[in-house]
Amino acid sequence: MIDRLRECGLRDFTYIDDETVTTCVRPEELSQILRCLILRAGLHFSTCVGVDVRGLGEQGIEIYYIVSGKKLRLLLRTSVAPSEKIEVPLDLPCTYWCLHEARDLVGLNLRNEVYTYRFVLPDSYPRSVCPLRKDYQYSERPLTKCVQEMPTRPEKAITLFPHIPYFYEHEDFIVYVDVDKIVDFEYRGFYNHRGIEKVGETRLKADQVPFIAERICGICGYTHSCAYCQAVESALRIDIPESARLTRTLLLEVERIESHLLWLAILCYMINLRDLFLKLMRCREHVMSMGEILTGNRKMYGINVIGGVRDFITSERIEKAARLFSELKTQCTKLLQELKSSERLRAATRGVGTLSREDALITGAVGPVARASGIDYDVRKYLPYAAYSQVSFSIPVYSEGDVYSRALVRIDETLESIDIIDQVLGMSRALLEKPHRSEYEWLPCRVGVGMTEAPRGEDVHFIITGHDLRLYRWRVRAPTYANLPSLWKSLIGEKLEHANLIIASIDPCLACTDRLVVVDTGLGKVRKITRLVEVREA
């Protein structure tokens, strides 16, 4: 892999841990090197991170690009002067969001801006205010004025609606249609931007952060706390005990099954397989009960700590969970096979929302979305963590790239997770071994990256350690953040009636809005929908 990096012009690597290397590049070289790494070497682009380095005795802003390959994680690091601009590579949409986020939050200057409006902040936020700069106090509230948040193009048809009408979160999906055919798409999100990274850097100590990291997502919280702990463990070179590795693997797979069953159940509801919807939700309740048996709570909160896990596993808990799991895997396997063979599923989803392998690659798609488009990328195999190198499992990959393939990937992955849990429960003696955590010494100015394969895809946590057990920088990139840009490719050309299903097929974890406005200038009609109330206007 290092040879492939050298072919793209990279030199002088420094190892952060056994799988992570970093190298410095000049700002003017970044775009060319990224194109080589992604389009020629076939590496996966994860995200980029903007860092205000003035608190480290330096000037300006540093940018870290995180790129992954098999058995290797690469950090491209570049320093930018306050007046210097970073080019946005227009042929690599996977870079758009993180660069514009760094512009809003850290003050990075961009060349070739794709989003001229504020991206993760309201347009009412003063342009000179960058909340993640070190001189910005957590308690500050800048004076704002009401302005239009995002320009739209009223000369074309516009649709605003939630991704699924069964959830209520604050996101705008703006779809331009020609009668009933989607011709363009825009997205406006981040309405519930919580400033969680600023909280982690200013108000909490590093060993307190896992308890808010696991609350980033209501369904997949455990994988976030794992990714954060792994980032710190990478930075400080902490080797966690085998029992902690097995425990994390067990709980991560319980969470994966819980998440996939929820998505599959909602898919059944959307395509009118109501009987299977109820059966899958009942099965999911048993999975959550298993999590409660093991950890004491259904969401498995408060288990991870830096260096391992809490001392909570007992032989009684394992035995009780194993008995429930024995019943669960038979029930769950039968339901999943029934769904996989459903003609209704095939008819409603095959050929809908197709995303090609090339489009998935350049938009940075992850998880089931990428694997359904022929990209064989799974962090558990590429960069093994926890105890994934000690268990055997397969990575389901399909090439059609449609909603049907995304459903098949999740079905197959759930079956693989059942097998992984079976293997880990068979190592109960190792699970019970003590200690469950390793001691460590806190060191400042260390860089670390933690990655997990969340149910929705690759989850990334980046940290730079500060002084006094605090973080200097914490950056979180959830998988939905990486998958949303793929909608630009999978929605255009589709019928409007398929939009909800296509958006739902990436399993978005959002905060949502419940409104719909359709403007069809060709027919001269306007429709406004709020929940179940529809108002028609000429």
Query: Following DSSP, what letter does each residue of 50-70 receive, concatenated?
Result: EEEGGGGT--SEEEEEEEEET
Print the SS3 string covering 125-156. CCCCCCCCCCCCCCCCCCCCCCCCCCCCCCCC
Instruction: Give the per-residue pLDDT at 200.
Output: 93
**Residue 298 to residue 181: CA distance in whole angstroms:** 43
Taking alpha carbons only, the member of 427, 72, 66 closest to residue 242 is 427
List pLDDT tens digits, range 85-103.
999 999 999 999 999 999 9
Confidence of residue 170 (pLDDT cuts 50, 70, 90): low
Least confident range from 41-45, 192-196, 320-324: namely 192-196
Taking alpha carbons only, the member of 61, 53, 48, 49 closest to residue 108 is 61
**Residue 105 to residue 119: CA distance in whole angstroms:** 10
Reported as type and span, the H/E element at residue 188 is strand 181-188
Name beta bridge partners: 77.
Answer: 24, 64
Decide if pLDDT at 444 tops 90.
yes
Instruction: Give the per-residue pLDDT at 54.
Output: 87
Percent helix, percent strand, percent coil in the chain, to nearest 5: 40, 20, 40
**Residue 75 to residue 33: CA distance in whole angstroms:** 12
What mean pLDDT value characterizes the chain? 88
HSE-up (13 A, CA, CB side) for residue 27: 18
**Residue 242 to residue 245: CA distance in whole angstroms:** 5
Q: If you average pLDDT over residues 355-377, what whole number do you get?
A: 96
**Residue 336 to residue 261: CA distance in whole angstroms:** 9
Taking alpha carbons only, the member of 93, 121, 91 closest to residue 107 is 121
Which residues are CB-neighbours of 397 under 8 A, at least 6 positions away? Answer: 371, 372, 374, 375, 376, 409
Q: If you average pLDDT over residues 316-331, what whole number do you get?
A: 94
Q: If you average pLDDT over residues 466-470, what whole number do you get?
A: 95
List pLDDT tens digits, range 480-494.
999 999 999 999 999
Sketch out the chain's domains with CATH numbers.
Answer: 2-151 (3.30.460.80), 209-438 (1.10.645.10)
DSSP 437: B
Is the Cβ–Cβ distance between 160 and 173 less than 8 Å? yes
List pLDDT tens digits, range 331-353.
999 999 999 999 999 999 999 99
Is the Cβ–Cβ distance between 430 and 386 less than 8 Å? no
**Residue 263 to residue 257: CA distance in whole angstroms:** 10
Cα–Cα–Cα angle for 379, 414, 225, rounded to 5 degrees: 50
Most confident of 8-17, 139-148, 149-158, 468-477: 468-477
Instruction: Give the per-residue pLDDT at 192.
Output: 66
Instruction: Give the per-residue pLDDT at 169.
Output: 59
**Residue 307 to residue 245: CA distance in whole angstroms:** 10
List pLDDT tens digits, range 506-522.
998 864 322 333 445 45
Provide, rounded to the nearest whole percent, the portion of the chain with pLDDT above 70. Answer: 89
Cα–Cα–Cα angle for 198, 75, 43, rounded to 5 degrees: 120
**Residue 51 to residue 44: CA distance in whole angstroms:** 22
Decide if pLDDT at 161 tops 70.
no
List pLDDT tens digits, range 398-417.
999 999 999 999 999 999 99
List, as own/partner pairs, every contact residues 187-196 make where C-beta atoms lie below 8 angstroms and the sequence separation is at least 24, other chains included: 187/484, 187/487, 188/149, 188/150, 189/484, 189/510, 190/119, 190/120, 190/121, 191/511, 191/513, 192/511, 193/120, 193/121, 195/131, 195/138, 196/476
Instruction: Give the per-residue pLDDT at 153.
Output: 55
**Residue 258 to residue 460: CA distance in whole angstroms:** 21
Name beta bridge partners: 131.
Answer: none
Print the SS3 string covering 307-352. CEECCCCCHHHHHHHHHHHHHHHHHHHHHHHHHHCCHHHHHHHCCC
